[in-house]
Amino acid sequence: MENFVFYNPVKILFGKGQIANIAQEIPGDAKILITYGGGSIKANGVYDQVKSALAGRKVFEFGGIEPNPHLETLMKAVELIRKEGIDFILAVGGGSVVDGTKFIAAAVPFVGDPWDILAKGAPVNAAVPFGAVLTLPATGSEMNPTAVITKSETQEKLYFANPLVFPKFSVLDPETTFSLPTRQISNGIVDAFTHVMEQYLTYSVNAPLQDRMAESILKTLIEEGPKTLANPTDYDARANLVWSATMALNGLIAVGVPQDWTTHMIGHELTALHGMDHAQTLAVVLPSTLTIRRDRKSQKLLQYADRVWEIVGGSEDERIDAAISKTRDFFESVGVRTRLSDYGVGVETIPVVIKNLEKHGMTALGENKDVNPQVVEKILALCV
Ligand code: NZQ
Ligand code: ZN
C-alpha cells in the first residue's frame, strides 16, 4: 500500500426530513445565499423545505446554475456575494450546483481572474463557507473538495480541488431525489460506478481493504441500480444508491492506491465539445479504456471479473472480454448508451479531443502516466 494522508471533514445529515435540521449548521447571524439550478427544487418541494428551515434568517437567492455549470453564470453570483457581504452559501441541487458553489466560494476572495484557479492552478487561499442539500446522487461532490466548471466562451471544461471547498455539511435526503427524471437516475448509477472503477481498476498494491470496499460499492450499484430505476419511490433502494454514490468519490477508496481518471478526462472534453451528459461520456469511454489498457490492467480485470461479475470459467483473455462486456451491458441495461454514434458524434471528434487534451496538459494520463495522445486516439477509435 502507498503512503497516504486522509482528510474529510464533511458532516453528513442523511435521511428523511434532514433538511429541517440545517439551521443549526449555519451560524445564526450569517447572511446566506441559496444557490440552485433551473428550477427542479421549486417543483419538488425542496425549495419550500429549505426556506422553512431558514425562516427568520437573512437569505438571498441565486438561481439558474446550469448543468455543467458555466463560469459566466457563476461570476454573477460572485458579484452578488461581494456586493451584499454574504458570508455563507447553501447549494441546493445536483452536482452542478454544488460544483458551481465551490467555485463561487473560492472566487469571492480571489484576487485576479478566478478562471486561473482552473486554467493555471492558481492557489486558493480562502473560500466562503458553504453547505449543500444534494438532490441528485452521482458526483460525490457533496463530500469531496473537487469542482468541474465549464467556460462556455472557449468550450473548456476543467476541474480544481482544494480542501477549502469541502462543504461544511451535506444533507442527503433520498426523498428529495424521487422527482428525478429516469435519465438522471441512470446517469447517477453510471457516474458512481465509473468513479469506483477509476480508483480500483488499475494495478494491485496489496490493498485488499480498499479493493473490497470498491467491489462492494460496485456490487451494490449493480443490485440496487435496477431496483431504484424500476421503482423510483422505493426509499431503501434510493437510499442505497445515494450512499453508494457518496462513498464512490469521498476519497476513502482512493487512499493508498493508484488512480486512473483517463475516462473522466476524455469525457470532460466530449461534454465540452458536444454537450453530452457527463455520465453518457463515461459509459462510452470506460469500456474502450479497459479494452485498450487490458494488458496493463489484466490482474485487476481478472479480479473484477471474478469478484464483481462472478466470471470464473474460460481463459484469462475470455474472462477479461466477458468482464468488459458485462460492464458495457450494465450501462446499457440501466439506460445509458455506450457508443459515440448513439449521441450523433463521429470520428471527426477524435483529433479535436486530442488537441484539447494537449492544450490542457493532459498528455500523460492513467495510473502509469502512459496514456499519451496516441493511446487516447486508440481509445476514442473504439468508442465510435
Ligand atoms: O437545474 P435543475 O432544475 O435543478 O435540474 C437538474 C439538471 O437539469 C436536474 N435535477 C437535479 N436534481 C433533481 C433534478 N430534477 C428533478 N429532481 C431532482 N431532485 O438534473 C439535471 C442534471 O443536474 P446536474 O447537477 O448537472 O447533474 P449531476 O449531479 O450529474 O452533476 C454533473 C456535473 O458534475 C460534474 C460533472 O462533470 C458535471 O458538470 N462532476 C463533478 C464531480 C465532483 N465534483 O467530484 C465528479 C464527477 O466526475 C463529475 O465530473
Ligand atoms: Zn464523474
pLDDT digits 0-9 by tens, 138-158: 999 999 999 999 999 999 999
Mutation test of ligand 1: which of 96, 157, 191 has the most ligand atoms closer than 8 Å to its C-beta?
A: 96
pLDDT at residue 121, rounded to an integer = 97
* pLDDT for the residue 336: 98
Give the per-residue pLDDT at 295: 97
146 lines ligand 1 (CB under 6 A): yes
Between CA 274 and CA 334 the distance in angstroms is 22
- Ligand 1 in contact with 114 (CB < 6 A)? no
Mean pLDDT of the chain: 98
- For residue 66, the ligand 1 atom closest to its alpha carbon is 1
Ligand 1, atom 34, residue with closest C-alpha = 95
Q: Determine the atom of ligand 1 nearest the C-alpha atom of 249.
A: 45
Measure the CA–CA gap between 30 and 359, rounded to whole angstroms.
41
Angle, CA of 268, 270 and 274, to the nearest 5°: 125
Question: Which cell is 242 given?
Answer: 445515494
Q: CA nearest 373: which of 342, 344, 350?
A: 350
Q: Mean pLDDT over residues 82-86, rounded?
A: 98
Q: Is 147 in the pocket of ligand 1 (CB under 6 A)?
A: yes
Is any ligand 1 atom within 6 A of the Cβ of residue 267? no
Beta carbon of 95 within 6 Å of any ligand 1 atom: yes
How wide is the angle at C-alpha 367 spanned by C-alphas 316 and 312, nearest 5°?
A: 20
Closest CA to 248 of 279, 216, 288: 216
What band does 263 get if pLDDT is binned at 50, 70 and 90? Answer: very high
Cα 321 to ligand 1 centroid, rounded to whole Å: 32
Pull the grid cell for residue 202. Answer: 488499475
Instruction: Please give the pLDDT value at position 154.
Output: 94
